[in-house]
Amino acid sequence: MKELSMLSLICSCFYPEPRNINIYTYDDMEVKQINKRASGQAFELILKPPSPISEAPRTLASPKKKDLSLEEIQKKLEAAEERRKSQEAQVLKQLAEKREHEREVLQKALEENNNFSKMAEEKLILKMEQIKENREANLAAIIERLQEKFPIPVAFHLNTLACYIEKKQRGRKENEG
């Protein structure tokens, strides 16, 4: 079967009779079919030289500046001054908002720190009370065991034990202070 170019294929839809044209011409180029080969078709593309009267790219003319009157210049200066003042006010407003936010963050941090300190102090007080109760319970258990082993009057043991406890507490207070 004979191989057809794309253009020939399209043209064959409109013109059912095969055309034997080896040269196709377009506005700025010419296509020539070269000898057919077993691997496919070959074409030679010839570009036409640019015409001597070529259209130069048109440049758009900038609009003419109209003369500004003194009043118009004054209005523009006033508008520029208003814009500048507006921008300054906006910058100052943003700065004030930023400072307010920083104050809020600082206040919140101080509040959290105070809450933490109060909670830590409360926990410490509870722990110290618990230790005191445990100590008193241990001392009561020791006194009870001593009474069981030695039938000496309890008052003697209590006085001795109270003196011992007072000495220990004074020593701790002196070490803390």
pLDDT at 119: 97
> What is this structure's pTM?
0.38
Query: Which sequence spans correspond to the domains of the chain?
Result: 6-47, 72-176
Nearest to 40 by CA among 4, 72, 82: 4
Q: SS3 of 73, please?
A: helix
Virtual CA dihedral for 132, 134, 137, 141, nearest 10 degrees?
-130
Per-residue model confidence as pLDDT tens digits over 92-124: 999 999 999 999 999 999 999 999 999 999 999
| 162 closest CA partner among 170, 151, 150 | 170
Mean pLDDT of the chain: 80
- pLDDT-derived band at 3 (thresholds 50, 70, 90) equals low
Q: How confident is the model at residue 1 (pLDDT cuts 50, 70, 90)?
A: very low
